[in-house]
């Protein structure tokens, strides 16, 4: 027979203490439930056998609740704790987990009945932590060492958790106190335009790939900021999760690689080649290690983590997969700008049909109706034209409205070029974002709403410009979008092309 567990009830009001003890003795008849009424009783309990659980409050006339808990934990590290008290102030509530509190129960008539349930949950979590210590430590190291700043906050925007990179990315000194502070204050430097309306904007989700940030040390950097809400099935907001990433170096590389004018083209192309090489070799390997370890943790140890550990592990796996997709997109983007294969006559009808064949599963899944007029034969690079159509039609399928997608692809001949149009009946694009969407990693929606990397339209722009044309969009929110692009009738640089075997 198992040894009876010892449950200490440290509450100052005798009526509260007596009723709590009565309820717990009825719920756990095989265990010992003892009262801690004053400092003398507390000292005796501390010197006695190790308790299995402590039910306490946030304050006493003779001590602070967190100090009582800390004293018990120093002497008996394995004890689980339940705070049974009136609702604490928000800054205190945000720090309960940091204090080592396993469960909080509101001290009212319903709370007495919840006490046994809270204790059982606390014991179960403690057992899960003990059985999954190795996996938890590996997982924690991955989160703590991640180069991306990760954080969580209450629905009202009070920080409850942040890894070391969070402060570093935002240009704060190491060890800067963050927990308990508001996101309005912490992110105001990175999101000055949103600060007045926080946390409302944060609850709706934030995705800013590049935001100018002046740090406390006076230097200027660019950061990407993502915030998303974690909700119950009924839509109730549980908390805010988010990530910040330093994109200064990537932005500088992009600026250097985007040199304009014929004189700087060879140099810019060489820098782009070097960037692509670095991405494919220097960055891919550590990412593969991170991704592989994250997936191994998910497969072997996910069931041994607590709910918070499972959430963090899911974020880690998802982030590594998205980062891999982004690196793949960078490589594709780099290849699209290289002159590589020469331009030769391309049947745009054939290229579109191949793109639609590649999208067949998504077309059938969404019930889409995709039609096109007769398209011309023009100088181009066949594989890039297929990619161009595939990205534009794929976007129409992704950003669809409540009705089944309808997509029409057409072309009209002009004096020196053909103007193509890809029209859909989707959700549309706000006019103020219609230039921004063609930039690298520019997204108007969170990854949870519409998966993707934010590279697709940037790749379309690069392909069109590679062919000597232009691309733009006309759209009204809720009324679909029409993407236009032009392809010249003549090869942009005569005399360099050979027949395209495609």
CATH assignment of the domain containing 203: 3.30.450.20
Residue 283: is its pLDDT beyond 60? Answer: no
Q: How many DSSP H helices and E strands does the chain contain?
A: 18, 17
Q: Please list, in sequence order, all residues whose beta carbon lies within 8 angstroms of the beta carbon of residue 313, skipping any fewer than 6 positions away.
A: 139, 294, 297, 298, 302, 305
Largest CA distance in the chain: 97
Residue 495: is its pLDDT beyond 60? Answer: no
Q: Using the 8-state DSSP alphabet, how is residue 280 labeled?
A: I
What predicted TM-score, i.e. pTM, was given to this entire model?
0.38
**181, 275: one domain:** yes
Residue 341: is its pLDDT beyond 80? Answer: no
Q: How confident is the model over 32-84, as pLDDT tens digits?
A: 999 998 888 888 888 889 999 999 998 888 888 778 888 888 888 889 999 99
Please give the residue that has the higher pLDDT: either 287 or 257. 287
Q: What pLDDT is recorded for position 265?
A: 47
Domain membership flag for residue 263: yes
Residue 156: is its pLDDT beyond 70? Answer: yes
Domain membership flag for residue 457: yes
**In the chain, what is the straight-line distance between the N-terminal and C-terminal CA atoms, in Å?**
78
Given 334, 360, 383, which residue is the final one in a domain?
334
- Rounded Cα–Cα distance for residues 272 and 275 (Å): 5
Please give the residue that has the higher pLDDT: either 190 or 116. 116
Residue with token string 């011309």: 376
**11, 117: one domain:** yes
Query: How many separate domains does the chain show?
Result: 3
Domain membership flag for residue 502: no
Domain membership flag for residue 339: no
- Rounded Cα–Cα distance for residues 171 and 194 (Å): 19
Residue 367: is its pLDDT beyond 70? Answer: yes
**292, 350: one domain:** no
Q: How confident is the model at residue 253 (pLDDT cuts 50, 70, 90)?
A: low
> In DSSP terms, which residues pair with 84 in a beta bridge?
105
Q: What pLDDT is recorded for position 119?
A: 92
Q: What pLDDT is recorded for position 216?
A: 65
Residue 195: is its pLDDT beyond 50? Answer: no
**322, 396: one domain:** no
**106, 30: one domain:** yes
Domain membership flag for residue 51: yes
Q: Please list, in sequence order, all residues whose beta carbon lies within 8 angstroms of the beta carbon of residue 370, skipping any fewer than 6 positions away.
A: 356, 363, 393, 405, 407, 408, 409
DSSP 3-state helix, strand, coil percentages of the chain (rounded to 5)?
45, 20, 35
Please give the residue that has the higher pLDDT: either 25 or 134. 25
- Rounded Cα–Cα distance for residues 123 and 54 (Å): 11
User: Is the CB of residue 344 less than 8 Å from the CB of residue 499?
Assistant: yes
Range of the domain at 51: 6-131
Residue 100: is its pLDDT beyond 70? Answer: yes
Residue 112 maps to which CATH number? 3.40.50.2300
- Rounded Cα–Cα distance for residues 47 and 375 (Å): 87
**103, 127: one domain:** yes
Q: What pLDDT is recorded for position 409?
A: 93
Q: Is 209 helix (H, G, I), strand (E, B) or coil?
A: strand
User: Is the CB of residue 487 less than 8 Å from the CB of residue 384?
Assistant: no
Phi/psi for 252 (5° steps) reads -65, -40
Residue with token string 């009723």: 19
Please give the residue that has the higher pLDDT: either 447 or 234. 234
User: Is the CB of residue 99 less than 8 Å from the CB of residue 82?
Assistant: no
**232, 248: one domain:** yes
> In DSSP terms, which residues pair with 229 in a beta bridge?
240
Q: How confident is the model at residue 501 (pLDDT cuts 50, 70, 90)?
A: very low
Q: What pLDDT is recorded for position 436?
A: 62
User: Is the CB of residue 206 less than 8 Å from the CB of residue 194?
Assistant: yes
> In DSSP terms, which residues pair with 88 in a beta bridge?
none
Domain membership flag for residue 499: no
Q: What are the residue ranges of helices labelled H in 156-283?
A: 164-169, 183-186, 200-204, 248-257, 265-277
- Rounded Cα–Cα distance for residues 191 and 189 (Å): 6
Q: How confident is the model over 235-251, as pLDDT tens digits?
A: 777 888 888 888 887 66
Residue 380: is its pLDDT beyond 80? Answer: yes
Q: How confident is the model at residue 285 (pLDDT cuts 50, 70, 90)?
A: low
Q: Is 43 helix (H, G, I), strand (E, B) or coil?
A: helix
**Strand ranges of the sheet holding 53-56, from the earlier edge strand across to the other edge:** 32-35, 6-10, 53-56, 80-85, 103-106
User: Is the CB of residue 23 less than 8 Å from the CB of residue 115?
Assistant: yes
Pairing of strands 206-214, 159-162: unpaired
Q: What is the mean pLDDT of residues 200-212?
A: 67
- Burial (CB count <10 Å: 0-12, 13-18, 19+), residue 425: buried
- Rounded Cα–Cα distance for residues 485 and 419 (Å): 6
User: Is the CB of residue 246 less than 8 Å from the CB of residue 223?
Assistant: yes
């Amino acid at each position: 027979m198992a040894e009876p567990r010892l449950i200490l009830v440290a509450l100052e009001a005798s009526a509260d203490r007596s009723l709590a003890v009565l309820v717990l003795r009825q719920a756990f008849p095989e265990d010992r439930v003892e009262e801690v009424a004053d400092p003398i009783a507390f000292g005796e309990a501390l010197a006695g056998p190790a308790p299995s659980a402590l039910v306490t409050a946030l304050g006493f006339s003779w001590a602070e609740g967190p100090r009582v808990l800390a004293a018990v934990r120093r002497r008996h590290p394995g004890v689980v704790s339940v705070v049974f008290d009136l609702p604490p102030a928000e800054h205190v509530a945000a720090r309960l987990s940091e204090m080592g509190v396993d469960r909080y129960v509101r001290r009212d008539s319903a709370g007495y009945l919840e006490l046994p349930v809270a204790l059982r949950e606390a014991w179960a979590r403690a057992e899960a932590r003990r059985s999954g210590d190795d996996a938890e430590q590996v997982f924690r190291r991955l989160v703590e060492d991640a180069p991306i700043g990760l954080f969580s906050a209450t629905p009202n925007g009070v920080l409850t958790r942040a890894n070391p990179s969070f402060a570093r990315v935002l240009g704060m000194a190491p060890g800067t106190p963050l927990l308990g502070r508001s996101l309005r204050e912490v992110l105001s430097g990175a999101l000055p335009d949103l600060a007045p309306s926080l946390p409302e904007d944060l609850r709706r989700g934030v995705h800013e790939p590049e935001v100018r940030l002046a740090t406390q040390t006076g230097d200027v950097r660019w950061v990407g900021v993502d915030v998303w809400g974690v909700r119950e099935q009924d839509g109730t907001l549980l908390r805010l999760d988010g990530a910040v990433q330093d994109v200064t170096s990537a932005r500088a590389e992009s600026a250097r690689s985007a040199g304009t004018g014929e004189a700087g083209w060879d140099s810019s192309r060489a820098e782009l080649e070097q960037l692509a090489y670095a991405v494919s070799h220097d960055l891919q390997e550590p990412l593969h290690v991170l991704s592989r370890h994250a997936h191994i943790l998910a497969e072997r140890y996910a069931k041994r983590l607590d709910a918070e550990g499972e959430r963090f592990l899911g974020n880690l796996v998802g982030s590594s997969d998205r980062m891999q997709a982004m690196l793949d997109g960078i490589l594709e983007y780099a290849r699209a700008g290289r002159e590589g294969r020469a331009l030769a006559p391309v049947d745009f009808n054939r290229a579109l049909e191949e793109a639609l064949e590649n999208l067949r599963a998504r077309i059938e899944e969404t019930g889409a109706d995709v039609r096109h007029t007769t398209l011309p034969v023009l100088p181009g690079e066949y594989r890039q034209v297929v990619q161009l159509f595939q990205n534009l039609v794929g976007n129409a399928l992704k950003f669809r409205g409540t009705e089944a997608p309808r997509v029409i692809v057409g072309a009209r001949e002009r004096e020196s070029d053909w103007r193509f149009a890809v029209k859909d009946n989707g959700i549309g694009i706000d006019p103020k974002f219609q230039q921004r969407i063609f930039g690298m990693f520019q997204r108007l929606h969170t990854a949870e709403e519409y998966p993707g990397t934010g590279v697709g339209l940037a790749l379309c722009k690069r392909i069109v410009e590679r062919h000597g044309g232009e691309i733009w969009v006309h759209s009204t929110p809720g009324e679909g979008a029409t993407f236009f692009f032009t392809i010249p009738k003549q090869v942009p640089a005569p005399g360099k092309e050979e027949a395209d075997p495609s």
